[in-house]
Amino acid sequence: MSARTEGPRDRAPRRPPTAPDGLVVVDKPGGWTSHDVVGRARRLAGTRKVGHAGTLDPMATGVLVLGVGRATKLLTYVVGADKDYDATIRLGAATTTDDAEGELVAAADASGVARADLDRAVADLTGEILQVPSTVSAIKVDGKRAYARARAGEDVALAARPAVVSRFDVLDVRPVAPGEAGLPDDAPPALDVDVAVTVSSGTYVRALARDLGDALGVGGHLTALRRTRVGGYGLDVASTLEDLEAQADRDGVLATLPLADAARATFPVRELTAPEATALSYGQWVPATGAPGTTAAISPAGELVALVEDTRRGGADLARPVLVLAPA
């Protein structure tokens, strides 16, 4: 009796070629967690070495920056960049999560909120502020995520932390009558406020919605959120998951933003001489860049060699490598 010939169904699915090291900027769809997006990207990139720079809630859409391969080491720096959001805040209702996914805890008639009062409250939440994060945030309290404690029925008290809201623009204000735009028939009238904000890393737009409603005495929560920029990466360079899948199928490998190009969008750049590039690849120090903070050091061949920071050593200003991407 002859052995059975292996057929197509017996073979494991072909693993896609591993994508080159670099960043992928995704326009995250609503209903997906950031981890869901990473999982899809791992499949497309042919590697598990994929991470993201800053979580987006499932209800939110927009820019989610992913790192593939060595580019995951850049994500720590991308996370710290400021961010732009477009959002809709509903005044007249407060929820347990400060967004539309939570349970209603208080409602009030917001139809009497005057535009001058709204503008004044927005101004008070602009600039350097102290913000109490939402109780369903990912902040750890005694080693456990705040959202996990809140969902377990625990009372979660988070300390206020510094935040910077450099832009808080009111784009539109719309009255919402009961029975309209998802407002229950028995609810008091509400106001929907469309805003555009620019915030520092770690700022919660949900908490801005909550605090705006509290300041106006009617309660508030977030009903829509779209992230339009993270540092140097905006929606203009973002792709949908469908587009990424189509590109990977068409070209045979997922395209990424090369490390050097990614660094240029995130950091000031130091163009290296050949000897400097060699020295940095060995972890040696080179002459100072003269720029504050972290600088991307690019070789004459256009390769990202390292990230460097200026410091003093032996009475001289020098640039030390804080992350070597192209070791010797």
Report if residue 10 sits inside a domain: no
Q: How confident is the model at residue 48 (pLDDT cuts 50, 70, 90)?
A: very high
Report if residue 149 sits inside a domain: yes
CATH number at residue 312: 2.30.130.10
Show the beta-strand stretches assigned E in 69-156.
Answer: 83-91, 93-95, 104-107, 127-131, 140-141, 144-145
In this structure, are 139 and 215 located in the same domain? Answer: yes
In this structure, are 161 and 197 located in the same domain? Answer: yes
| Helical packing angle, 34-45 and 241-251, nearest 10° | 10
In this structure, are 94 and 148 located in the same domain? Answer: yes
In this structure, are 214 and 237 located in the same domain? Answer: no
Range of the structural domain that residue 37 is part of? 16-81+232-258
In this structure, are 29 and 122 located in the same domain? Answer: no
In this structure, are 72 and 179 located in the same domain? Answer: no
* CA–CA dist 92, 219 (Å, integer): 5
In this structure, are 59 and 98 located in the same domain? Answer: no
Q: Is the pLDDT of residue 225 over 60?
A: yes
Whether the Cβ atoms of residue 50 and residue 72 lie closer than 8 Å to each other: yes
- Quick one: pLDDT at residue 1? 43
CATH number at residue 183: 3.30.2350.10
**Active site residue: 21, 57, 84, 192, which one?**
57
Count of CB atoms situated within 10 Å of the CB of 241 = 17
Report if residue 3 sits inside a domain: no
Report if residue 158 sits inside a domain: yes
In this structure, are 88 and 206 located in the same domain? Answer: yes
In this structure, are 170 and 114 located in the same domain? Answer: yes
In this structure, are 134 and 218 located in the same domain? Answer: yes
| CA 229 to the chain's CA centroid | 8
Report if residue 4 sits inside a domain: no
What are the residues facing 298 on neighbouring strands? 271, 304
Tens-place pLDDT, residues 67-112 = 999 999 999 999 999 999 999 999 999 998 899 988 899 999 999 9
Show the beta-strand stretches assigned E in 132-264.
Answer: 140-141, 144-145, 161-176, 190-199, 220-230, 233-234, 257-258
Count of CB atoms situated within 10 Å of the CB of 165 = 19
Report if residue 275 sits inside a domain: yes
Tokens of 118: 């709204």
In this structure, are 160 and 133 located in the same domain? Answer: yes
| CA 314 to the chain's CA centroid | 40
Q: How confident is the model at residue 314 (pLDDT cuts 50, 70, 90)?
A: confident
Report if residue 38 sits inside a domain: yes
Q: Give per-residue burial for 45-79: e unless 16+ CB within 10 Å, then b.
A: bbbeebbbbbebbbbbbbbbbbbbbbbbbbbebbb
Helix (H) or strand (E) holding 115: helix 115-124
Tens-place pLDDT, residues 109-161 = 999 999 999 999 999 999 999 999 887 666 776 667 766 666 666 667 788 99
In this structure, are 93 and 141 located in the same domain? Answer: yes
Quote the mean pLDDT of the chain.
91
- Return the residue matching tokens 């998802």: 182
Share of the chain residues as helix, strand and coil, in percent rounded to the nearest 5: 25, 35, 40
Report if residue 113 sits inside a domain: yes
Backbone angle region of 143, left / alpha / beta, with phi > 0 → left and psi within -120 to 50 → alpha? left
> Total domain count for the chain?
3
109 catalytic residue (yes or no): no
Q: Is the pLDDT of residue 305 over 60?
A: yes
* CA–CA dist 131, 232 (Å, integer): 25
Tens-place pLDDT, residues 239-263 = 999 999 999 999 999 999 999 999 9
